[in-house]
Every structure is written in structure tokens, then in C-alpha cells.
Structure 1
Amino acid sequence: MSQKRDESQLKELQRQLQQLQHAYARQSRRAIVVLEGWDSAGKGGLIRRIGWALDPRTLQVWQIGAPEGRERRQHWMQRFWERMPLQGELTIFDRSWYGRVLVERVEGFAEPDAWQRAYDEINQFERSLVEENVRIVKLFLDIDRDTQMRRFIKRYETPGKRWKLTEDDIRNRARWDDYETAYADMLERCSTTWAPWTRIDARHKHKARIAAFEAIIEHLAEDVDVTPPELPPLVQAFMEEQVRED
């Protein structure tokens, strides 16, 4: 019964987010949702539920991994600038520019002076986006060690989900304390008044998805009119005539 209630609530939140997407498209607004969190915290499942509800024509999802090819020769932020939403679009980042102060910091891919400098660079980057009227929602999906291990075991025992387990997952788990420190620093130093972090307790998947949808809707809905526009007079007259004849 609890799961059914959660699914019913989630369906209503999906409808509300769909209304917001339509309003953003009509009003040429732009928005970004940034997802960070532990391996197996539920980022993929959340993205699927967002995708099921929204029009793919104005939805873009970027899964961010290590830079490749020419990206290695660019300024480290360049590849993110190139992935910013167009007018009327909602863009989701499955991991993001925060990799600089997370995996690049922990794994030693960035020198200490580079990742320490990145906190201010990130804050300035996000502030410039907000000043250009881009809405930014940043969600951190948080779980504990035991929850992660239970999910790893469930994936391992489900043949169709084994592909989700990677060597990176195992290596990252071995450095849990280092990542915990990096996450804490990220949340402290990059939760600004213009782009705050929202921490989602992701130990319970259904409740986490509801909390995430609520946070996204709350941030995106501020000062946005979701009232559908009036039909053009010709369309209105034509349809009224068709309804009368029917």
C-alpha cells in the first residue's frame, strides 16, 4: 500500500513537471538539473522517471565521464559550456563539472592547486548562468555504506542488472572515506544562495524519487506561469464548430 501511494504521488509530480516543461518551452526559459551522488544512489532511476514524463524534444540528458580527445586539450570547463540548454530546454547532467572536486581530486587526476581553485571557478560559472536566467537545481543523492552494498549484491544476483556493476564501483567503494570528505567539501563550498545544493536521503528509492521531484518542481516553478495559452481564434472557432456538429 505504501508503494502504491508513492507511485500515485510520483505520477502527480510527473504531471506537474510536465506542465513546467511546457511552460519553459513556451516562454523560452532554460533550466539545468545537476545530479551527483554515490554509486547506486539512484541517479539513473530518477532520470528514467523524469524522461518518462517529459517531451524528449526539449529534454537533454548528458552522462558525464572522463574527458576524451580534444576535451583534454581544452579548458576543463569548456565541455560543459558546450552542453548548456538552448532556449526552451531542460538539461539534466548525470554527474557534472563537480567531477573536478570529486573523482579528479580523489583519484589524483587533478593537481591539488587545480581542484582547490575549482570551487571558486564552479561558483562563478553557476552564477553567470543564473544571471543569464538559467535555473539550476542541484541534487545530491546520499546513501550509506550498507545501503550501497545491498544494492551491489542485488545487482549481482540479478543477471539483467549485472552490467551496472563496474570496476570503478568497486574502486570507489574502497575509497569511501576520501569521497565522503570530498562530498562534504563540495556541499559546504558550493552551496550558494544562487545555486544551493539539496541533499536527498536516497536510502529508500521511492521516497527519494518523490523528494527529488518535489525539489526540482519547487526550484523550477518559482515565478513561472503554467497556465496554458489561449488557442488562436481560427483554431478555437474551427474546433467549436466541430464539437457542435459532433
Structure 2
Amino acid sequence: MNWNHLQNRVLHLNQLDQTKILSPDEYQVKMKELKNQIRELTFIAKEKERPILFVFEGWDAAGKGGAIRRLTQEIDPRLFEVHNISAPNAEEIQHHYLWRFWNRIPKKGHIGILDRSYYGRVLVERVEGFASEPEWSRAYEEILLFEEQLLSFGTIVIKFWLHISAEEQLLRFETRKNDPLKRWKLTEEDWRNRDKWSLYEEAANQMFQKTDAPKAPWFLVPANDKYFARTMILETTVERLQKELE
């Protein structure tokens, strides 16, 4: 199987094919191969002193955490750091919204992984009214300039949006609610956000159109099937790193 994600990208959520699935056997075979490739490529990035920044965005319960765990399983733990981004704290809110992300940028040869990111400015802050329209409107250009600075430093930027249907999200919410080990993942805010699905979808589609760049492209991942989503993320990562490190 070879999807060639660098060439066949979709930049609108309604155009994603959510029928794609992967069998457990095929998943195991592909993941073993891809994890080995990622381990080797991250060592090459270390030798070449190239930082790597992963951006993970997507719907609540879309599988970002599980995808990140699979991505990092074979990477030397000394080389990466995962940052779970939540609402800014009292100090951070006194600064420009990008200030706290500068402190999370990976150094040369290392890997930073953002579970949620600076794109929150044009997503949750836009939809929930935490940023005014002039603030989130100018953020597209600010983010592009921010990423251009990272790229000029040699950073490889890889951005994913994990997309599930509203029906699949409801099913996962109900599963979490009924599982004592997963119940902590579900909050009242998650339920409230479902009521604004169309607003978040509009914001996401506009974000893809305005912040997709040749050196920092968006990859939209059909994630109703977790096996397919995780495999696509790893395969896309391999393709991107091979292209950048060749």
C-alpha cells in the first residue's frame, strides 16, 4: 500500500473519504515497517541538526493522543517532547498568543510535538469568542510568518488534522462516559463543543485554505478508522522526512 500523501492532499473536510479502513493484520505489518523507518529518519535529522515540529489538531476524541503514542514508540525518548496545549495560564495570557509557543520550539536535532497548538487562535478562540474578529483575522498572517521563521531555521514542520464524523464522535464520547478508565477524558466542554460543530468546521476549512504552505502543508486525516488514521500519519511522516532529509 502506498498512498503518496504529499501529492494527493485534500484541504476541505467534506471531501475526505471516511470509508477507508485497514485490517488489524495489515495495520500490524505496516506499523512495524513505518516505525523502523521513522526511528532511522529521526536519527538522520539529529545528525543533520534539523529540528522537527509536529502539529496535531482535530476534533475531540479524534485519536490525537493515540496517534502521537504510535508515532513516538520507536523514537529515542531523549530526542522528543510532547506538549499538551490547553488554555493559557495567567502569565501567558498577558503576552502575545505566540509567546508561549516559542518556548516549546524544538532545538536542533530534536522533535517537538504539539497536541493542540497555536492554531487555537483561529479555532477555539475564534469560535468561543476568546479572540475578537480583528485578532483572529490577522492571526493567519502571523502564523504564516511564525512558521516561515521556523522553516528558515531549518525546522521541518508537519501538520495534521484528524477528522471524524459527528456520529463517530458521539459514539466515542459514549464509550468514554461508560469506561471508568477513560471517563476523565470527557468534559462538559467537549459536549458543548458538539453544539458548535458547524462553526468549528467552517473555521477549520478556512484555516486550511489560509495557512497551507508549500513547506508547511496541512494533511487532513480520515480518522473514523483508527488503524487507517495512525498508519496514514506515520506514512506521511516518513514521506515528509525523506523528502526533507534527502
TM value normalised by structure 2: 0.89
Tell me the distance in 2 between the aligned counterparts of 1:59 and 1:201: 25
1:162-173 aligned at under 5 Å gives the runs 162-173=183-194
Q: Is the 8 A contact 2:156 2:244 kept in 1?
A: no
In structure 2, the residue matched to 1:244 is none
| C-alpha displacement of 1:34 | 0.4
In structure 1, the residue matched to 2:179 is 158
Tell me the distance in 2 between the aligned counterparts of 1:9 and 1:115: 40
Q: Is the 8 A contact 2:62 2:223 kept in 1?
A: yes
Aligned length: 225
| C-alpha displacement of 1:55 | 1.0
In structure 1, the residue matched to 2:148 is 127
In structure 2, the residue matched to 1:43 is 64
Query: 1:183 is matched with which residue: 201, 204, 208?
Result: 204
| C-alpha displacement of 1:223 | 4.5
Match status 1:136 vs 2:153: no
- Percent of pairs with identical residues: 42
Compare 135-144 and 157-166 and name the one that shifted more: 157-166
Where 1:34 maps in the other structure, the secondary structure is strand
In structure 2, the residue matched to 1:97 is 118
In structure 1, the residue matched to 2:8 is none
Moved >3 Å (runs of 4+): none
Query: 1:110 is matched with which residue: 131, 136, 139?
Result: 131
Tell me the distance in 2 between the aligned counterparts of 1:190 and 1:93: 17
Tell me the distance in 2 between the aligned counterparts of 1:166 and 1:7: 32
Q: Please tell me whether Structure 1 or Structure 2 has the larger radius of gyration of its CA atoms.
A: 1
Q: Is the 8 A contact 1:33 1:216 kept in 2?
A: no
More helix by share: 1
Where 1:55 maps in the other structure, the secondary structure is coil
| Amino acid of the structure 2 residue aligned with 1:77 | L
Where 2:182 maps in the other structure, the secondary structure is helix
Higher relative contact order (CA 8 A, sep 6+): 2
1:1-246 aligned at under 5 Å gives the runs 2-224=23-245
Where 1:56 maps in the other structure, the secondary structure is coil
Gaps of 5+ in 2: 1-21
Cα 1:88–1:159 change in 2 (3 A) is: same
Q: Is the 8 A contact 2:56 2:116 kept in 1?
A: yes
Q: Is the 8 A contact 2:27 2:231 kept in 1?
A: yes
